[in-house]
Amino acid sequence: MEVIPAIDLRGGAVVRLLQGNYDRQTTFGDDPVGVARGFEADGAPRIHVVDLDGAREGRRTQAAEVRAVAAAVGIPIELGGGLRSADVIAEVIADGVDRVVLGTAAVEEPELIEQALAAHGAERVIVGIDAREGIASVAGWTESGSIPATDLLDRMADLGVCRFIYTDITRDGTLTSPNFSAVSDMVERADAAGGSRIIASGGIAELDHLRTLANIGAEGAIIGAAIYLGTLDLAAAVAELG
């Protein structure tokens, strides 16, 4: 299972939000390049980068920071947040981003998912399903949709999406535990939809959580707060599970 550290960017700083709440932010520094290099040194196979301002505003806001991170490390990065047009998706890939993560577009503009798949291939396009009580949310988690997460997975798999990031918003940043039941349901749904893969996110605090996710069948896990707050050692996790 891939153990994927996260860099969430807001105003150029590395931050974490509690349960996706922009008013409950913890800042961990203003050097995303240094953080990325540290993750690479610990053996991370890739880095998950989120433009939080872009996610909420619906446009790319931290292009320079993303370019700098992509240029500084030799491992691939994936980027989500504010990617709402074919031109912007092409731009970030040209900037060195390996995979794009599309969330709001999957709910509000599925034709953009189709365009991205046709232009860049299924291995470079991930759909992020961010759920609150099983319902997909949009606009940087600030708005609730009306589509159950499982139904959204089915729709996107039908378009040819082969990889999903599933986040339980209520667990994100809490260091409680992942929603194992929901992740298991999504893995089963993905298998039934043709073998799509699930990357789990939200609530991971310790190595045992990662072991359980691996046993459930998650392809990967995204970790943020646990690394920054020291409850999980990235290098040890990668060494065991990577």
| CB 109, CB 84: distance < 8 Å | yes
Contacts of 137 (CB under 8 A, 6+ apart): 20, 130, 131, 143, 144, 145, 169
Would you call 208 a catalytic residue per the annotation? no
| CB 92, CB 102: distance < 8 Å | no
| CB 220, CB 4: distance < 8 Å | yes
| CB 227, CB 234: distance < 8 Å | yes
Rounded to whole angstroms, how far apart are CA atoms 226 and 237?
A: 11
Would you call 51 a catalytic residue per the annotation? no
Cα torsion 212, 32, 92, 78 to 10°: value is -10
Select which of 51, 53, 95, 130 is catalytic: 130
Active site residues: 8, 130
